[in-house]
Amino acid sequence: MTTLLTRSKPAPALDLDARLALAGLAMDDRLDQAAVAFEVNTAHLPAEQLPEVAVPHLPQTAVPAPYSTPIAALLHRARTRLQTDGWSREAMLEEDGRRCAIGAIRREADSRDQADDACFLLLESIRRHWQAATIPSWNAAQPSSAPVLLAFEQAAQLAHTRNH
């Protein structure tokens, strides 16, 4: 018995959208199979004996940033941290978890250098729109968190524009 070996053409490379679509279909299939398996495995149980399913709480950093550049994403996370934990006018970290502008950046930064780069861009953004010598003096002079949040958003846009 002889076998004929033929060379087949390699499959065309799929672009990212096609790969994501295939992965989505595969996940949908797996979720459907899991739902059926759950129904089969729990069909004999009365409704009050069904196990409770706990939905995990995602940490704040799991929220995707609208910026793909690292410093812009850091500034966005720090802004979100201020919105979530609260803003402090004078202390880097209050007992109740509120933070000042620099405290929020340091909390979200992966390294000291990254925090320094983000502070530099935040100060540049502040100086473009407000008169300030330093971030702490400007932060202490603000009447509410609104200008601080606005400064973070402007700094994130600046970082993104510069591809930082």
Please indicate, yes or no, if residue 139 is contained in any of the structural domains.
yes
Please indicate, yes or no, if residue 153 is contained in any of the structural domains.
yes
Q: How many domains does one find in the chain?
A: 1
Contact between 78 and 105 (Cβ < 8 Å) = yes
User: Is residue 4 scored above 60 in pLDDT?
Assistant: no
pLDDT at position 43 is 74
Please indicate, yes or no, if residue 157 is contained in any of the structural domains.
yes
Please indicate, yes or no, if residue 1 is contained in any of the structural domains.
no
Q: How many CA atoms lie within 13 A of 105 on its CB side?
A: 28
Contact between 153 and 79 (Cβ < 8 Å) = yes
Please indicate, yes or no, if residue 90 is contained in any of the structural domains.
yes
Contacts 24+ apart (CB under 8 A), 59-68: 60/84, 61/108, 67/156, 67/159, 67/160, 68/160
Helix (H, G, I), strand (E, B) or coil at 39: helix
Tens of pLDDT along 13-72?
Answer: 878 888 888 888 888 888 888 888 888 887 776 766 656 666 665 555 555 668 889 999
Q: Which structural domain, as residue segments, surrounds residue 102? A: 63-161
Tens of pLDDT along 73-129?
Answer: 999 999 999 999 999 998 999 999 999 999 999 999 999 999 999 999 999 999 999
Please indicate, yes or no, if residue 17 is contained in any of the structural domains.
no
pLDDT at position 112 is 94
**Residues facing residue 87 across a β-bridge:** 99
